[in-house]
Amino acid sequence: MKPYDERDGYRVWLSGDELERLIETMYDKGGTSHRIAGRLGGHCGLRRDEASKSRPIDVVESHGECVLRVWEDQAKRDKYRETPIPQDLADQIRMIPEFKDQAVDDAVLDVSGKTINRWVKRACETLYADSGDEAWTYVTYHDLRRTWGTRMLETGVLPSVVMWHGGWDDWETFREHYLGEFSPAALARERSKVEWLGGESERREEQHVTTAAPPASGAQYRSD
Q: What is the pLDDT of residues 202-214, one digit of tens each?
A: 444 444 333 333 4
Average pLDDT over residues 120-143: 97
**106: helix, coil or strand?**
coil
CA distance 117 to 5: 22
| Banded model confidence at residue 221, pLDDT cuts 50, 70, 90 | very low
User: Is the confidence at residue 9, as pLDDT, over 70?
Assistant: yes
**208: helix, coil or strand?**
coil
User: Is the confidence at residue 190, as pLDDT, over 80?
Assistant: no
* Predicted pLDDT at 124: 98
Do 224 and 193 meet the contact criterion of CB atoms below 8 Å apart?
no
Do 60 and 69 meet the contact criterion of CB atoms below 8 Å apart?
yes
CA distance 28 to 83: 27
| Banded model confidence at residue 182, pLDDT cuts 50, 70, 90 | low
* Predicted pLDDT at 184: 73
Pairwise pLDDT comparison (211 vs 21), residue with the higher score:
21
| Banded model confidence at residue 218, pLDDT cuts 50, 70, 90 | very low
Do 61 and 22 meet the contact criterion of CB atoms below 8 Å apart?
no
CA distance 143 to 14: 8
Residue 47: DSSP 8-state = -
Helices 113-131, 141-154: axis angle to 10 degrees equals 80
Q: How many CA atoms lie within 13 A of 188 on its CB side?
A: 7
Pairwise pLDDT comparison (95 vs 216), residue with the higher score:
95
Query: How far is the CA of 150 from the CAs of 23, 30, 128, in angstroms?
Result: 18, 27, 23
Residue 202: DSSP 8-state = P
Percent of the chain with pLDDT over 90: 60
Q: What is the pLDDT of residues 52-102, one digit of tens each?
A: 999 999 999 998 899 999 987 665 667 899 999 999 999 999 999 988 888
Do 82 and 69 meet the contact criterion of CB atoms below 8 Å apart?
yes
Q: Given CA atoms 9, 2, 129, 39 in this order, what sign does their dihedral have?
A: positive
